[in-house]
Amino acid sequence: MTPRASISVLIPCLNEERFIGGILENIAGQTYPAELIEVLVIDGGSSDQTRAIVAQWERRDKRFKLVDNPDRYVPHALNLGIRAASGELIVIMGAHAAYPPDYLSKLEEGLQSTGALNVGGVCLTAPRSEAPKARAIAALLRHPLGVGNSLFRIGVDRPTEVDTVPFGCYPRGVFGTYGLFDERLLRNQDIEFNKRIYNSGGKILLLPDVQCTYFARDTFRALWQNNFQNGLWVIRTAKLTRRLSSLSLRHFVPLGFVFYLALAALCSFFGWFAALAPLILYLFLTGAAAFRIAWREGSALVFPLAWAGFPVLHLSYGLGSLQGLWELAKEKIIKKPIRAGQ
């Protein structure tokens, strides 16, 4: 029998008093041998009770350690954790999630048995409350019309090679081969790192029997703000890495949707039906999807909220990417040399 590997769990966090205690409880209850686990909570200077909660765990269980992240951002936290970790495997856990008792065991087994360079599980999106709006938003984030072909959100029925997984379980040596997370990328740093592995021929596997539960944002405002930043960082990531291959096609689809809407508005002066037919189809498809969501949720109130939620999801992301293009255009205009005589 192959000896079990030691695991370092990295949890970047900032002001997570609502969730951090539950996550540490999840880790303490893992079926994986306790003596092979260390937990590094890398905190970006929380102003709530997050640090106090982690400090309590640190005092009563030597496996738990609080690490300061003066730069505050996630890629810096991950790199600090990797440098401080002693485990043979590095497992990243998100602070807005819950994990079953066999989570670490299944990740370790999947990694050791497949020879993959990263394995992860399906991220089941759950509402933060039972309010109809929260349930509608959570349903959007696990629907193909909401998240495209993001398999870790919509699920798979067998181990599947993918270009990224949420969180991830890596052999420590991966970071010696491919480097650390790009600290310029305040978002998408995990996607870009996984694409580095994937584009070099390394295997990344999504395991269907490994699951965690992610708690979605529960207001349209929070959804809009988060998705706008995600869309913005699509363009910033491509710019900073100078490679479109740092991301996937699905990350650019919402930008195409925004361009279509702008073009449709212009073309409607010449023939409204031809210009707006795709939009009518979009409203029909999202309406049908919203109806099915409401039916599954058993709540008529979810229907209008889900129907309204689709354009919130798509437009916020697309407009964020448009903002990124505008920033890029302004930068090029400013840097453009002025010829003599102009």
Are 262 and 319 within 8 A, CB to CB?
no
Count CB-CB contacts under 10 A for residue 75: 22
Give how many domains the chain has, as a whole number.
2
The confidence score (pLDDT) of residue 1 equals 53
Beta carbons of 162 and 152 less than 8 angstroms apart: yes
pLDDT recorded at residue 333: 60
Residue 185 included in any domain:
no
- Nearest to residue 47, comparing CAs of 15, 16, 17, 24? 15
Q: Is residue 10 part of a domain?
A: yes
Domain contains 128: no
Determine, yes or no, domain membership for 239.
no
88 belongs to a structural domain:
yes
Which helix (H) or strand (E) segment holds residue 297: the answer is helix 272-297
Listed residues 80, 95, 110: the one ending a domain: 95
Who contacts 91 (Cβ-Cβ below 8 Å, separation ≥6)? 7, 8, 9, 10, 104, 107, 167, 168, 169, 170
Q: Report in angstroms the alpha-carbon separations of 267 from 255, 263, 264, 306.
A: 18, 6, 5, 29
What's the confidence (pLDDT) of residue 337?
Answer: 44
Tell me which DSSP letter residue 19 carries: T
pLDDT of amino acid 155: 81
Sign of CA pseudo-dihedral 262, 229, 183, 172: negative
Predicted model pTM: 0.86
Q: What is the DSSP string of 143-170?
A: SHHHHTT-HHHH--SS-EE-S--SS-EE
pLDDT given at position 334: 55
In this predicted model, what pLDDT tens digit does every residue of 6-38 receive, in sequence order? 999 999 999 999 999 999 999 999 999 999 999
Q: So what's the pLDDT on residue 95?
A: 86
Give the number of other Cβ atoms within 10 Å of residue 58's Cβ: 17
Low-confidence ranges of the chain (pLDDT < 50): 336-342
Is 303 inside any structural domain? yes
Last residue of a domain, one of 77, 95, 113: 95
Domain with 324, as residue range(s), is 244-335
Q: Is residue 292 part of a domain?
A: yes
Q: Which of 337, 313, 191 is nearest to 253 (CA)?
A: 313
Contact 156, 243 (CB under 8 A): no
Say if 126 falls within a structural domain.
Answer: no
Per this entry, what is the length of the chain? 342
- Nearest CA to 191 out of 233, 159, 222, 148 is that of 233
Specify the CATH number for the domain of residue 7: 3.90.550.10
Which of 50, 76, 95 is a domain's end point?
95
Residues 263-307: tens digit of each pLDDT: 776 666 555 666 677 788 889 999 999 999 999 999 999 999 999
